[in-house]
């Protein structure tokens, strides 16, 4: 883990904490697991918050070493993310790149221009931008939509990798990388959450995260 990653991830987690998008306590997840932390990126819902959030994504992507020429945002949460990350990448701090972006509709439009894809034409090498991968269904649908016309998925960029086992004992992000052969980038990981909590929260909170990771974390 580089110092640059630590800076990016800790700034991102501090932003999430300020907007109450990152919470510590006891939360029942969709999986039924009782987690000592909860992440809801939808709570970052202001202009300033989204600007800082997009900057975190752009910084993580810029340091990942992935070659790409466009972004794709899966409906629905990925749509504002792709748009704002494209804006952040246009900033000189992140390379001053004018990166086009595309997003999809949940259902095909049967009037006007029609189809399911909106925005710029897909590039040759596309990065999918999303929040957190749980089952990975939306991202796999996006992969199929990108590959159908002949484009390549250059990577998947998400906010948080929970680094915990899914149904087949792999994390959804690791499964995606292994099954599809696609590089994955997370702005922050469970290890980063643990480091953040260690600096700012009680020993009991840190201990609860350790226990959760030992029970459900990937090796």
Q: pTM score, two decimals?
A: 0.92
Query: How far is 160 from 8, CA to CA, in rounded Å?
Result: 12
Residue 22 belongs to domain with CATH number: 3.40.50.2020
Q: Which of 30, 77, 94, 109 is catalytic?
A: 109
Q: What angle do CA 216, 1, 170 make, to 5 degrees?
A: 30
Say what the pLDDT of residue 125 is: 98
**Blockwise average pLDDT, block size 10, the chain, 219 residues:** 87 97 95 94 96 97 95 93 97 94 77 73 96 79 93 96 86 86 93 96 97 90
Say what the pLDDT of residue 91 is: 95
Q: Which of 23, 77, 94, 111 is catalytic?
A: 111
Query: Crossing angle of helices 47-62/3-18, nearest 10°?
Result: 160
Domain extent for 74: 3-216
- Measured CA to CA in angstroms, residue 167 lies from 135, 164, 214 at distances of 9, 10, 17
Say what the pLDDT of residue 135 is: 64
Let me know if 106 is a catalytic residue. Answer: no
SS3 state at 187:
strand
Say what the pLDDT of residue 7 is: 93
Let me know if 30 is a catalytic residue. Answer: no
- Phi and psi at 25, nearest 5°, equal 160, -125
Say what the pLDDT of residue 103 is: 95
The domain total for the chain is 1
């Amino acid at each position: 883990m580089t110092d640059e990653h630590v800076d990016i991830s800790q700034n991102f987690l501090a932003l999430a904490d300020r907007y109450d998008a990152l919470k510590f306590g006891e939360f029942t997840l969709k999986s039924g697991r009782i987690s000592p932390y909860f992440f809801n990126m939808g709570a970052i819902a202001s202009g300033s918050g989204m600007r800082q959030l997009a900057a975190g994504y752009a910084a993580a992507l810029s340091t990942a070493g992935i070659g790409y020429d466009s972004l794709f945002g899966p409906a629905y949460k990925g749509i504002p993310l792709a748009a704002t990350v494209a804006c952040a990448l246009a900033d000189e701090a992140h390379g001053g790149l004018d990166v086009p972006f595309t997003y999809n509709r949940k259902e095909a439009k049967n009037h006007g221009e029609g189809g399911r894809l909106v925005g710029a034409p897909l590039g040759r090498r596309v990065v999918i931008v999303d929040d957190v991968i749980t089952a990975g269904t939306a991202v796999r649908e996006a992969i199929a939509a990108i590959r159908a016309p002949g484009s390549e998925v250059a990577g998947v960029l998400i906010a948080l990798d929970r680094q915990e086992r899914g149904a087949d004992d792999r994390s959804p992000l690791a499964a995606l990388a292994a099954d599809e052969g696609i590089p994955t980038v997370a702005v922050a990981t469970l290890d980063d959450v643990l480091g953040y909590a260690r600096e700012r929260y009680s020993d009991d909170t840190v201990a609860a995260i350790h226990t959760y990771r030992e029970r459900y974390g990937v090796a």
